[in-house]
Amino acid sequence: MWEQIRSNQIRSVVLVVVMGTLLVLLGYFLGLYFFDSAIGGLVIALVVWALMSLIGYFQGDNLLLTMSRAKKISRDDHPRLYNIVEEMKIASGLEKIPDIYIIDDPALNAFATGRDPNRASVAITSGLLQKLNRDELQGVIAHEISHIKNRDVLLMAMTSILLGTIVILAWYGSRFLIFGSMGGSRRRSSSGGGGQAQIIILIVGLVFMILAPIMAQFIYLAISRKREYLADASSALYTRYPEGLASALEKLGASTGQLKSASQATAPMYIVNPFRKKGLKFADLSSTHPPISERIRILRAMAGASFSNYDQAYRQVHQGSGSIIPAAGLAAGSIPLAKAAPKTKVEEPDEIQRARETSDVMWQLNNYKTITCDCGTKLRVPPGFKETSITCPRCRRRHPV
Amino acid sequence: MLALWIVLGIIGVLLIFFWATYNGLVRLRNQVKNAWAQIDVQLKRRYDLIPNLMETVKGYMTHERETLEAVTNARNLAQQVSSAGAGARAQAEGELSSALSRLLAVVENYPDLKANQNFLALQEELTSTENKISFSRQYYNDSVLRYNNQTQMFPSNFVASMTGFKASEFFEVTLAVEREAPKVSFT
């Protein structure tokens, strides 16, 4: 069942190597233009890339969580969420429970981060916490945990850094080239009559500089989309209940609120594209995520919970196109789905209760103290409150702080 | 000379195969052990939760003595056989699960209890523990399946039988009541 990780890694490694080659070629051409030596350009390209990778590797998760203004919660802040994450940790066989973060944003989204399975975090928006019931939340968390388990998180972070380096170098390279040629090219004066070969190299290099970022972007998106399908399949496998994720995605797709704290660079990290527009149905090459409606249809077409069931459903939806799961993952055969009530059904808080619950957590995370008065009023005491007691505005009772 | 090299090459390949397969088997066996420990943790957690639950529920459920006793007895019995093999244990735990779901079913008749904050928190814990038990069981059985396949399938079965890897026992639910998700309707 877990073999698919390895064969998947091989495929991804090939794509990453192609991207790496793009970077090396870019460095080579830059070197030819600006330093008259290919080595100089190569060194610069690799140093820039190495620096960015080091920062990304050691600080990437912190940066991402800080940028999205996520707040870490403990078990007591939101026992249900914590329990769901722990359940999925057990189902996936992760060794350590990831840290859990909440982003105070009404948009519906979630992401996972962390460089290895033992140092990972999942973050979800407060909007998601309000809108989804237990089964749906479980499906979403399972999707995120499987990104951690399949080691997608590090791969995606590292590929996006590679992509970033290529984009930056090509951008500066082409700008310098344009300005350089306007003020009498240094290259022309220094080499003194290069002949046709040099002009050809110049043109090839320029074209390459324009195409490299675009090619890199396509490779990156191809990796990213494949990972999303695999995470959906794993989510179904862990929960044995694809309907949970399907109905969660339905809610996510119906809401068009864009996540304020997301950026183009962090977009592929989320469970659904944070910049999606309503009514976009077709998978185009420039999208980091497969279309939500398609993901839902695949999940609903699943006859069992195994990878081969997901693959069948995928081919059914795509009318006979190739497999999405690597062959090694398909050996498991069919696994029966859980019934409509997957586990012990419990009385669930409805959406209003969930909204109250979530807002309590958000106040608390911002260091407000909540006092519930006997008349039913909730008093939020700000962190810097100086007095020793507070009066309920409704019934005038005094409460010690 | 060439023949010698060929023979040495074959021996080398065999050694590498043996080494890789053996390590793979050890990894899978450890995974099975680890998964079993996970089930154990969750079952123990359920034993610990039940006295708390009884304490909270007792005051409200004055007419449900039998249901309450059934849970306590099932819990004690399960705890007694907790050192037994997977088969015996699964049965006792199945009894406990069904006794618990019967208890949670009659909660419906006690609106006061349903409003009790303490009980609500306990109920969330209990539900989640039930889920965790079934997820850890799911992971355990998946691990056992992979391990058993590896010990029985060609060619790794040679390495397994030579070095004494034996197939593991599944953690099957033996009770009909448990196999179907308990039909508890809260309205």
pLDDT number for residue A44: 84
**pLDDT average, residue stretch A256-263:** 70
Chain A hits for B121, Cβ within 8 Å: 79
Q: Which residues of A touch B186 (CB under 8 A)?
A: 345-347
**Confidence at residue A136, expressed as pLDDT on a 0 to 100 scale:** 92
- Closest Cα in chain A to B184: A345
A chain contacts of residue B110, beta-carbon cutoff 8 Å: none
Q: Which two tokens stand for residue A8?
A: 């998947």
Q: Which range has the worst mean pLDDT, A63-77, A106-120, A369-383, B132-146?
A: A369-383
Cα-based distances in Å from B86 to A41, B93, B100, B137, B171: 63, 10, 21, 11, 5
Minimal CA–CA distance to B119: which of B58, B68, B72? B58
- Residue A89 binned pLDDT confidence (cut-offs 50, 70, 90): very high
Q: Is the pLDDT at B71 greater than 80, yes or no?
A: yes
Lowest mean pLDDT among A223-227, A334-338, A370-374, B76-80: A334-338
Best of B108, B127, B149 to substitute, by most chain A Cβ atoms within 10 angstroms, is: B127
Only one residue has tokens 């051409």, namely A29
Separation between Cα atoms, residue A160 and residue A268, nearest integer Å: 9
Chain A residues with CB under 8 Å of B134 CB are 343
Of the candidate ranges A50-64, A214-228, B161-175, the one whose mean pLDDT is the lowest: B161-175
A52 vs A257 pLDDT, higher one = A52
Range with top average pLDDT, A196-200, A292-296, B89-93: A292-296
Per-residue pLDDT tens for A126-137? 989 988 988 899
What pLDDT shows up at residue A329? 56
Closest CB from B35, B121, B130 relative to A344:
B130
Q: Is the pLDDT of residue B178 over 50?
A: no
Per-residue pLDDT band for B15 (boundaries 50, 70, 90) equals very high
Span of A335-339, A358-362, B143-147 with lowest mean pLDDT = A335-339
pLDDT at B176 > cutoff 50: no
Residue B6 pLDDT greater than 90, yes or no = yes
A95-104, A359-368, B48-57: segment of lowest average pLDDT = A359-368
Contact B124 A79 (CB under 8 A): yes
> Dihedral through CA B99, CA B103, CA B105, CA B107, nearest 10?
-170
Q: How many CB pairs under 8 A join A and B?
A: 70
Which pLDDT does position A122 carry in this prediction? Answer: 93
Determine which of A94, A347, A354, A356 to mutate to test the interface with B (most B C-beta atoms within 10 Å).
A347
Q: Looking at per-residue confidence, does A259 or A111 come out higher? A: A111
Cβ <8 Å between A344 and B139 = no
> With the C-alpha atoms ordered A137, A138, A139, A143, is the resulting torsion angle positive or negative?
positive
- Search chain A and give the residue with CA nearest B120: A347
pLDDT at A366: 80
In this structure, of A5-9, A119-123, B134-138, the range with the lowest mean pLDDT score is A5-9
pLDDT the model gives residue A124: 92
Which residue among A86, A338, A339 places its CB closest to the CB of B132? A86
Give the pLDDT of residue A338. Answer: 63
Give the number of residues written for chain A.
Answer: 401
**In DSSP terms, which residues pair with A369 in a beta bridge?**
A381
Do A324 and A313 touch, CB atoms closer than 8 A? no
Rounded to whole angstroms, the Cα distance separating A255 from A276 reads 10
Query: Other CB atoms closer than 10 Å to residue A130's CB: what's the count?
Result: 18
Q: With 90 as the cut, is the pLDDT of residue A276 above it?
A: no
Interval A283-293 mean pLDDT:
65
Q: Are strands A119-125 and A99-103 parallel, antiparallel or unpaired?
A: parallel
Q: Residue range B116-125: average pLDDT? A: 84
Most confident of A8-12, A220-224, B142-146: B142-146
Residue A279 has pLDDT above 50, yes or no: no
Residue A2 confidence (pLDDT): 47
Q: Are A50 and A162 in contact (CB under 8 A)?
A: no
Q: Burial, A313: exposed, middle or buried (Cβ in 10 Å; 0-12, 13-18, 19+)?
A: buried
Strand partners, A399: A390
d(CA A248, CA A355): 17
Residue A83 — pLDDT band, cuts 50, 70, 90?
Answer: very high
Residue-level pLDDT at B53: 86
List A144, A243, A347, A387, catalytic entry: A144
Amino acid at A204: V
CB of A238 within 8 Å of any CB in chain B? yes
User: Looking at beta carbons, which pairs linking A20-28 to residues 24 or more positions away fall under 8 Å?
Assistant: A20/A162, A22/A166, A22/A212, A22/A215, A22/A216, A23/A49, A23/A162, A23/A165, A23/A166, A23/A169, A25/A208, A25/A212, A26/A166, A26/A169, A26/A170, A26/A173, A26/A208, A26/A209, A26/A212, A27/A169
pLDDT at A185: 46
Average model confidence (pLDDT) across chain B:
82
B131–A83 C-beta distance less than 8 A: yes
**Residues of chain A above pLDDT 70, percent:** 80
Taking residues A34-50, report their average pLDDT.
82
Q: For residue A328, what pLDDT is reported?
A: 53
Q: Distance from A340 to chain B by nearest Cα, in Å?
A: 9
Q: Is A144 a residue of the active site?
A: yes
Would you place residue A101 in the very low, low, confident or very high pLDDT band (cuts 50, 70, 90)? Answer: very high
Q: Where are the domains of chain B?
A: 32-179
Does B33 touch chain A if contact means CB atoms closer than 8 Å?
A: no
**Predicted confidence (pLDDT) at residue A152 exceeds the cutoff of 90:** no
Query: 10 Å Cβ neighbour count for B5?
Result: 9
Number of Cβ within a 10 Å radius of residue A358: 21
Whose tokens are 């090509």? That residue is: A170
Segment of A171-180, A266-275, A310-319, A335-344 carrying the highest mean pLDDT: A310-319
- What does the alpha-carbon distance between residue A201 and residue B61 come to, in Å, rounded to a whole number? 87
Query: Judged by CB atoms within 8 Å, which residues 335-394 of A form the interface with B?
Result: 338-339, 341-347
Of B130, B180, B186, the CB nearest to A343: B130
- Which CATH number describes the domain made up of B32-179? 1.20.1440.20
With bands split at pLDDT 50, 70 and 90, how would you rate the model's confidence at A294? confident
Query: Which DSSP string corresponds to chain B?
Result: -HHHHHHHHHHHHHHHHHHHHHHHHHHHHHHHHHHHHHHHHHHHHHHHHHHHHHHHHHTT-TT-HHHHHHHHHHHHHHHHGGGS-HHHHHHHHHHHHHHHHHHHHHGGG-HHHHH-HHHHHHHHHHHHHHHHHHHHHHHHHHHHHHHHHHHHSTTHHHHHHHHT--PPPP-----HHHHSPP-----
Instruction: Give me the mean pLDDT over the B32-53 stretch.
Output: 87
pLDDT at B7 over 70: yes
The band of A355, judged by pLDDT with boundaries at 50, 70 and 90, is: confident
CA distance B76 to chain A (A): 22
Upstream peptide bond of B155 is cis (omega within 30 degrees of 0): yes
Q: Which tokens in the block code for residue B185?
A: 């309707």
Interface test with B, best of A4, A80, A343 (most B CBs within 10 A): A343
Q: What integer pLDDT is reported at residue B184 of this predicted model?
A: 46
Mean confidence (pLDDT) of chain A: 79
